[in-house]
A and B are shown apart, each in its own frame.
Chain A
């Protein structure tokens, strides 16, 4: 049981390049999230998914796209990277328990540097 894993761990991009970050979870969780973490700002929600085939925007969605083709995977795409997207990206997942606030489980993060 690996929990939440993220690929890659670190990446350097040039402005305008594209890339995809992969998040995988083996806990059969319905909900998945992508956050970005910037110094002094805590974590901010980029996009989320409440189930296979569904996605929705979070607080800071601009410049990102996501897809959830399989329940266990949640992909975050950058079509044209910008220096402002230099950040640490975290994926999280949780199971659905109605109104009970279940714990979100986080991956180890992906460090992205855009030059």
Chain B
């Protein structure tokens, strides 16, 4: 069964410094991977997704993630944090083997705190 581990429950950065949110996955098959962001009292918004094309995936708001099969990782990065990036981030894996039904497995989330 597929699973996702987000290695940090909280990450604190200063505005203008780089962001790194770590995610490791486990999947029996070639996975699809996603990062979603959730701002306070809001729904989830897709940041980016990996579906076996380029291993470096660029998303919205300057975020990107690199799929590393050998390390089973899909870490999320951003060169320079902005105050508006403060939110909860979820790493999600989907089993591409499924014939139609997309089962998403969510990590427990990483809360990003950005200080001035």
Contact = CB atoms under 8 A, between A and B. Distances in A.
A40 B108 contact: yes
Q: Secondary structure of the B side of the interface?
A: loop
Contact of B90 (A40, A43, A45): A43
B104 A108 contact: no
Contacts of A43: 44, 90, 104, 106
Contacts, number: 58
B101 A99 contact: no
Contacts of B104: 43, 45, 104
Interface stretch (B13-21, B45-53, B78-86): B45-53
A34 B80 CA distance: 35
Contact of B100 (A44, A98, A105): A98
A98 B98 CA distance: 9
B116 interface: no
Contacts of A107: 43
Interface residues on A, range: 20 to 34
A68 interface: no
Contact of A96 (B41, B96, B100): B100
Nearest to B50: A101
Contacts of B103: 45
Contacts of A41: 108
B2 interface: no
A74 interface: no
A35 B75 CA distance: 24
B108 A101 contact: no
